[in-house]
Amino acid sequence: MRILIDIGHPAHVHLFRNLALDMVNKGHEILFTCREKEFEIDLLSHYKLPFESLGKKPGSLTGKLTGLVKFDCKLFSVARKFRPDLFLSHGSHYAAHVSLLTGRPHIALEDTYNFEQIWLYKPFTSVILTSDYEHPLKSGRVIRYSGYHELAYLHPNRFIPDRSVLKELGMEESANYIIIRFVSWQASHDIGHKGLSLEDKLFSVTEFSRHAKVFISSEAVLPKELEKFRLNLSPERIHDALAFSSLLFGESSTMAEEAAILGIPAFFLNNKSTYYSKHLEKEYGLLFNYSESESDLRESVRKGIELLNTPGVKQEWQEKRAKLLREKIDVTPFLVWFVENWPESFRIMKEDPDYQLRFR
């Protein structure tokens, strides 16, 4: 089987990299395509995954609109050469459009529920795989499974954190450090959000620095006042750093969810929390959702400092994580089975939704 995997975000490399390696070991052919946003090329190269770049991802609204046609054409050209049997993506409308043009199925994964994107790919997609928490995507094409995207690469069967990252960060084993994440606010679903102000960023960094070492991961250019806090680490090492941190705080839903899956207290600041982040807070108490307002920012910092100074928090969060892992599946083998057995896998899951529980 020849599978073309289209990605639009660094997290998508992690989502599909274990599947790709497993499929290659089984004799299948894989090709990744990407638009360059942040660290996609670095990650694809590090994991030795075959890929073709379709160019830089535009930041402006005009660029995104013209990119609809430009990247469709570029992906179609790549697909004609590669001749995939199947397209796989995290809700890529480019993959969906080209799958229609080439007469091949498109399997999409979805966990953000940004309908301005879903409307662009859903009509041309064969099946959409989603987690089984409550969300608004209703369709006969939806297959729900008991897991999360992050469990495709952060499940303990797939990921054991490397303690050598502490030396790389200059941290002692017993010392507390936190990671603060700022985003660029250039995604289509970021329209209408302004994020934290410079004053809010300075306040949070200053307050947290009184209690722990602070490292900042940022999509956007950091102001000179915060540059000294930059996390200088290879992108493939970020999950090692997260796993040994005491707290994740910031504007990124992906990193907050990754921290939660690793059993690290996570704070997500956004005026519109995701269905996923709300679920992790309500069901497991692993994550805290706050708005972008100044009052919520100050309350979230206060709560974060309280956790940093509360004995036993790390053990408490690891117990919450253990509960989650007992109830969820190892996502990569499920995805491998679903893709390798398409379209029979779709019929099986429709007739017996509990079939996927064998992947626990």
Residues 6 or more apart in contact with residue 130 via CB below 8 angstroms:
109, 110, 111, 137, 142, 143, 144, 145
Q: How far apart are the first and last CA of the chain?
A: 26
Tokens of 160: 């054991």
Q: Does residue 147 surpass a pLDDT of 90?
A: yes
Mean pLDDT of 310-317: 96
pLDDT > 70 fraction of the chain, expressed in percent and rounded: 94
Element (H, E) at 231: none
Q: Does residue 194 surpass a pLDDT of 70?
A: no
Q: Does residue 188 surpass a pLDDT of 60?
A: no
Starting at the earlier edge strand, list the strands of the sheet with 2-7: 51-56, 29-36, 2-7, 86-89, 106-110, 127-131, 142-145
Tokens of 175: 């010392």
* pLDDT for the residue 68: 83
Q: How many CA atoms lie within 13 A of 270 on its CB side?
A: 27
CA proximity to 30, closest of 49, 3, 67, 10: 3
Mean pLDDT of 148-153: 98
| CATH of the domain spanning 2-155+330-359 | 3.40.50.2000
CA proximity to 92, closest of 135, 62, 57, 42: 57
Instruction: Centre a 10 Å sphere on the Cβ of residue 328 and count the other Cβ atoms it contains.
Output: 20
Instruction: Encode pLDDT of 46-81 as tens digits.
Output: 999 999 999 987 665 565 666 788 999 999 999 999
Range 164-325: architecture per CATH: 3-Layer(aba) Sandwich (3.40)
Q: Is the dihedral of CA 36, 330, 241, 206 positive or negative?
A: positive
Mean pLDDT of 92-118: 96
Mean pLDDT of 141-161: 98
Mean pLDDT of 255-275: 96
Residue indicated by tokens 């209690």:
211
Tokens of 221: 């250019």
* pLDDT for the residue 278: 97
Instruction: Centre a 10 Å sphere on the Cβ of residue 195 and count the other Cβ atoms it contains.
Output: 18
Domain boundaries, the chain: 2-155+330-359, 164-325
Q: Choose between 60 and 177: higher pLDDT.
A: 177
Residue indicated by tokens 């609109």:
65
* pLDDT for the residue 282: 97
Domains 2-155+330-359 and 164-325 share a fold: yes
The helix/strand/coil state of 247 is strand
* pLDDT for the residue 189: 43
Please state, rounded to an integer, the average pLDDT across all residues of the chain: 94
- Per-residue confidence at 190, pLDDT binned at 50, 70, 90? very low
What's the DSSP call for residue 148? -
Q: Choose between 243 and 195: higher pLDDT.
A: 243
Per-position DSSP letters for 171-228, written without gaps between them: --TT--EEEEEE----SGGGTT-----HHHHHHHHHHHHTTSEEEEEESSPPPTTTGG
Residues 6 or more apart in contact with residue 82 via CB below 8 angstroms:
2, 4, 31
Q: Does residue 107 surpass a pLDDT of 90?
A: yes
Mean pLDDT of 138-142: 96
Phi, psi of 223, rounded to the nearest 5 degrees = -65, 155
User: Global pTM?
Assistant: 0.93
Q: How many CA atoms lie within 13 A of 288 on its CB side?
A: 20
- Per-residue confidence at 267, pLDDT binned at 50, 70, 90? very high
Tokens of 97: 């459009």
Q: Does residue 228 surpass a pLDDT of 60?
A: yes
Does the bond joining 343 to the residue before it have cis omega, within 30 degrees of 0? yes
* pLDDT for the residue 115: 92
CB 31 within 8 A of CB 51: yes
